[in-house]
Amino acid sequence: MKVCIIGQGYIGLPTAALFSRSHCEVIGVDVNKEIVDNLNKGIIHIEEPGIAKIIKKSVKKNIYKASLTPEKADVFIITVPTPYVIDNYSCDLSYVINGCKSIVPFLEKGNTVIIESTVAPMSTDEVIKPIFEKAGFTIGEDLYLAHCPERVLPGKILEELVHNDRIIGGVTPECSLKASEAYRQFVEGNIMLTEAKIAELSKCMENTFRDVNIALANELAKICAEIGVNALDVIKMANKHPRVNLHSPGPGVGGHCLAIDPYFIYSKAPETAKIIKLARDTNNSMPDFVCEYVKKIIPAGKIAVLGVSYKGNTGDDRESPAYEIISKLENDYEIAIHDPHLKRDNFVSLSEALENADLILILCDHNEFKHPDYELISKKMSNPIIFDTKDIIYKVPKGITLYNYGNLYELNK
């Protein structure tokens, strides 16, 4: 089987790696020439365990090749980004549409086209399907079209792509079957066949469920800071109930999924999806909440920001709330940013970030931050204060002040 995958990012590249590991010939298409050139040398551009080894081996065996343009194949998979339109929160399908149009000249009868990009409900039937019909194909007879959303956790993408259950939403039952044949090359979890529109809404609701529950925890943190209660203790006690699982509050919600997908549902029924929109608004308000309490802790000075990835132990900073927090603080404070999982020109070493800092602001739960070098902190900071927005530090030595969502109310006394 030959597979052509459009997009070699956080989903496209791991998917390409698994197909090539399963002895399929894979063409990985991307618009970034530097990424393409590096991939053809076996050099990957994302931090994700296991991928580099597979891609290097597959390049060497000539079963994986990166390219700026598609090629003829048996299966075409679209894994491009789908941001939202700021004006009305609808799904921006422009990358998906361009990806679909790019493969049309290479399609042959009997091919399968799979949309992995997260899209709003009805997108496959109403927007994507007509592209291929206009090209002369009859969907379900000589071209098979399906929406098969990914559902993976950064840091465990390879493992979850293999072992998680997979939703296969075909435009027709025949489309579902054809798409499932492709995924059976490496998927060991259950493969569930359904309609495209059900697959679309299922993926959006998975992320919306999580977003709403995080919003509940964030709202609780705000309430507790206002009325003088330890939010972290409340969550700990409430979660002793066998049917309660309150999430942890944080500095906001990031990533391409939780921070965006709920809007796709909201845009389809804005008068009805009130809880979904309120949850988005609540989570979007957390950077302001963090900044408000930073200013209560120190009115001026230098802040050592630790972590900008939206997900701990990864270099994935897509939609990270850390950047909004930094932007809101940098006019009033000197900001030094350290993230061991990301390389940016303006990032500095931990030692440099801590030098003469007045506050450590933890915005990501990397393992490197869970057990700080307190000796270094005390050496570099004259009056060490830590504001831990991720609840990863439980006890600090004498002489160091720790704030988290459990004791912010103390700042309101």
**In tens digits, what is the pLDDT along the chain, a chain of 413 residues?**
999 999 999 999 999 999 999 999 999 999 999 999 999 999 999 989 999 999 999 999 999 999 999 999 999 999 999 999 999 999 999 999 999 999 999 999 999 999 999 999 999 999 999 999 999 999 999 999 999 998 888 889 999 999 999 999 999 999 999 999 999 999 999 999 999 999 999 999 999 999 999 999 999 999 999 999 999 999 999 999 999 999 999 999 998 889 999 999 999 999 999 999 999 999 999 999 999 999 999 999 999 999 999 999 999 999 999 999 999 999 999 999 999 999 999 999 999 999 999 999 999 999 999 999 999 999 999 999 999 999 999 899 999 999 999 999 999 98
Q: Is the pTM of the predicted complex or chain greater than 0.85?
A: yes
- Catalytic site residues? 203, 257
What three-state secondary structure class fits 139? strand
Distance CA(407)–CA(397), nearest Å, equals 17
Which of 323-341 are b and which e, b meaning 16 or more Cβ less than 10 Å from the residue's Cβ? Answer: bbbbebbeeebebbbbbbb
Number of CB atoms found within 10 A of residue 243's CB: 4
Report the C-alpha gap between 356 and 336 in whole angstroms. 11
Q: How far apart are CA 355 and CA 319, in angstroms?
A: 28
Helix (H, G, I), strand (E, B) or coil at 125: helix
Domains of the chain: 2-203 (3.40.50.720), 229-413 (3.40.50.720)
Closest among 109, 110, 101 to 132, alpha carbons compared:
101
